[in-house]
């Protein structure tokens, strides 16, 4: 069962899912959605061709969507424009 999100939250989940360096665990921490729920959101919100392209990239091994696949020395990618305690809100310039 897919949880109900507003349009802004859904867009952010999709954006985080597209980013290779954002693990599913970060999405789950911020929105409380499992990997399976993220896949269902992507399936329902994207065009079929876009969804297939995303799934292929996530499953290919190139993606670092799981913390287990990452290099142990690199724990987290952080954008220079991101606040230190922000839950992924970009600071105003």
Work out the mean pLDDT of the chain and round it to a whole number: 77
Count Cβ atoms below 10 Å from residue 58 Cβ, excluding itself: 21
Residue owning tokens 């729920």 = 37
Interval 19-56: pLDDT, tens:
877 888 889 989 999 989 999 999 999 999 999 999 98
**Predicted structure pTM score:** 0.65
Strands (E), the chain: none
Q: Cα 8 from chain centroid?
A: 14
Confidence check: pLDDT of 5 > 90: no
81 neighbors 90 (Cβ within 8 angstroms)? yes
Torsion of CA 40, 59, 20, 71, to 10 degrees: 130
Q: Where is average pLDDT lowest: 53-57, 59-63, 86-90?
A: 86-90
CA–CA distance, 83 with 72 (Å, rounded to integer): 24
């Amino acid at each position: 069962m897919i949880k109900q999100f507003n349009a802004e939250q859904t867009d952010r989940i999709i954006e985080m899912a597209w980013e290779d360096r954002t693990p599913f665990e970060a999405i789950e921490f911020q929105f409380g959605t499992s990997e399976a729920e993220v896949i269902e959101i992507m399936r329902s919100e994207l065009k079929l061709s876009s969804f297939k392209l995303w799934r292929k990239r996530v499953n290919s091994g190139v993606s670092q969507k799981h913390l287990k696949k990452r290099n142990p020395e690199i724990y987290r990618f952080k954008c220079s424009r991101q606040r230190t305690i922000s839950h992924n809100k970009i600071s105003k310039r």
